[in-house]
Structure 1
Amino acid sequence: MAKVRISQVRSTIGRPERQKRTIKALGLGKIDKSVEVELTPQISGMINKVNHLVTVTEV
Protein backbone atom coordinates (compact mmCIF):
# COMPACT_ATOMS: atom_id res chain seq x y z
CA MET A 1 0.00 0.00 0.00
CA ALA A 2 1.07 3.57 -0.66
CA LYS A 3 1.80 5.90 2.23
CA VAL A 4 0.34 9.39 2.37
CA ARG A 5 0.87 12.37 4.64
CA ILE A 6 -2.36 14.02 5.79
CA SER A 7 -2.14 17.55 7.21
CA GLN A 8 -4.98 19.48 8.77
CA VAL A 9 -5.15 22.98 7.29
CA ARG A 10 -8.54 24.25 8.50
CA SER A 11 -10.31 24.28 11.85
CA THR A 12 -13.20 22.02 12.83
CA ILE A 13 -14.96 24.83 14.70
CA GLY A 14 -18.51 25.09 13.43
CA ARG A 15 -18.30 21.80 11.53
CA PRO A 16 -20.74 18.92 11.95
CA GLU A 17 -19.93 16.39 14.68
CA ARG A 18 -19.39 13.70 12.05
CA GLN A 19 -16.55 15.67 10.46
CA LYS A 20 -14.98 16.34 13.86
CA ARG A 21 -15.01 12.62 14.66
CA THR A 22 -13.49 11.81 11.25
CA ILE A 23 -10.62 14.24 11.89
CA LYS A 24 -10.00 12.61 15.29
CA ALA A 25 -10.10 9.13 13.73
CA LEU A 26 -7.42 10.20 11.25
CA GLY A 27 -5.20 11.19 14.18
CA LEU A 28 -5.50 14.92 13.62
CA GLY A 29 -7.10 17.63 15.74
CA LYS A 30 -5.02 20.78 15.46
CA ILE A 31 -4.13 22.93 12.49
CA ASP A 32 -0.74 22.07 10.92
CA LYS A 33 -0.66 18.62 12.55
CA SER A 34 0.38 15.87 10.14
CA VAL A 35 0.20 12.09 10.18
CA GLU A 36 1.61 9.44 7.87
CA VAL A 37 -0.73 6.55 7.12
CA GLU A 38 -1.13 3.79 4.57
CA LEU A 39 -3.72 4.58 1.92
CA THR A 40 -6.40 1.96 2.43
CA PRO A 41 -9.95 2.21 1.09
CA GLN A 42 -11.15 3.15 4.59
CA ILE A 43 -8.62 5.98 4.95
CA SER A 44 -9.39 7.16 1.43
CA GLY A 45 -13.08 7.42 2.26
CA MET A 46 -12.33 9.36 5.44
CA ILE A 47 -10.13 11.78 3.49
CA ASN A 48 -12.93 12.32 0.96
CA LYS A 49 -15.35 13.26 3.77
CA VAL A 50 -13.06 16.00 5.12
CA ASN A 51 -11.07 16.95 2.01
CA HIS A 52 -11.92 20.62 2.55
CA LEU A 53 -10.13 20.54 5.94
CA VAL A 54 -6.97 18.61 5.00
CA THR A 55 -4.25 18.35 2.38
CA VAL A 56 -2.84 15.02 1.22
CA THR A 57 0.63 14.36 -0.22
CA GLU A 58 2.23 11.08 -1.23
CA VAL A 59 5.28 10.00 0.72
Structure 2
Amino acid sequence: MRILGTAALALNRIWATKVRSLLTMLGVVIGVAAIVALTSIVDGASQGINKSLATLGTNQ
Protein backbone atom coordinates (compact mmCIF):
# COMPACT_ATOMS: atom_id res chain seq x y z
CA MET A 1 0.00 0.00 0.00
CA ARG A 2 2.87 2.37 0.71
CA ILE A 3 4.22 2.01 -2.83
CA LEU A 4 0.81 2.85 -4.32
CA GLY A 5 0.53 5.88 -2.07
CA THR A 6 3.97 7.07 -3.11
CA ALA A 7 3.15 6.55 -6.79
CA ALA A 8 -0.14 8.42 -6.40
CA LEU A 9 1.63 11.30 -4.67
CA ALA A 10 4.24 11.46 -7.43
CA LEU A 11 1.57 11.51 -10.15
CA ASN A 12 -0.36 14.21 -8.30
CA ARG A 13 2.75 16.40 -8.06
CA ILE A 14 3.55 15.87 -11.75
CA TRP A 15 -0.01 16.77 -12.67
CA ALA A 16 0.04 19.83 -10.38
CA THR A 17 3.23 21.18 -11.94
CA LYS A 18 2.39 20.57 -15.59
CA VAL A 19 4.61 23.26 -17.09
CA ARG A 20 7.66 22.25 -15.07
CA SER A 21 7.10 18.59 -15.91
CA LEU A 22 6.67 19.39 -19.61
CA LEU A 23 9.86 21.47 -19.67
CA THR A 24 11.78 18.72 -17.89
CA MET A 25 10.59 16.09 -20.36
CA LEU A 26 11.39 18.43 -23.26
CA GLY A 27 14.91 18.94 -21.91
CA VAL A 28 15.47 15.20 -21.65
CA VAL A 29 14.19 14.63 -25.20
CA ILE A 30 16.39 17.40 -26.60
CA GLY A 31 19.41 16.05 -24.72
CA VAL A 32 18.92 12.52 -26.00
CA ALA A 33 18.37 13.79 -29.56
CA ALA A 34 21.57 15.84 -29.35
CA ILE A 35 23.59 12.84 -28.20
CA VAL A 36 22.17 10.67 -30.99
CA ALA A 37 22.87 13.37 -33.60
CA LEU A 38 26.44 13.93 -32.42
CA THR A 39 27.12 10.20 -32.34
CA SER A 40 25.84 9.89 -35.92
CA ILE A 41 27.96 12.83 -37.09
CA VAL A 42 31.11 11.46 -35.48
CA ASP A 43 30.47 7.99 -36.89
CA GLY A 44 29.90 9.39 -40.39
CA ALA A 45 33.05 11.49 -40.19
CA SER A 46 35.04 8.48 -39.01
CA GLN A 47 33.77 6.37 -41.91
CA GLY A 48 34.59 9.16 -44.36
CA ILE A 49 38.13 9.48 -43.04
CA ASN A 50 38.64 5.72 -43.19
CA LYS A 51 37.34 5.64 -46.77
CA SER A 52 39.69 8.48 -47.77
CA LEU A 53 42.65 6.75 -46.18
CA ALA A 54 41.76 3.46 -47.87
CA THR A 55 41.81 5.11 -51.30
CA LEU A 56 45.36 6.32 -50.68
CA GLY A 57 46.53 2.74 -50.42
CA THR A 58 49.47 1.45 -48.46
CA ASN A 59 52.76 3.26 -48.38
CA GLN A 60 55.39 0.80 -49.53
Give the TM-score of the pair, scaled to structure 1.
0.22
Higher fraction of helix: 2
Task: Tell which structure's C-alpha radius of gyration is larger.
Answer: 2
Q: Which of the pair is proportionally richer in strand?
A: 1
Q: TM-score normalized by structure 2?
A: 0.21
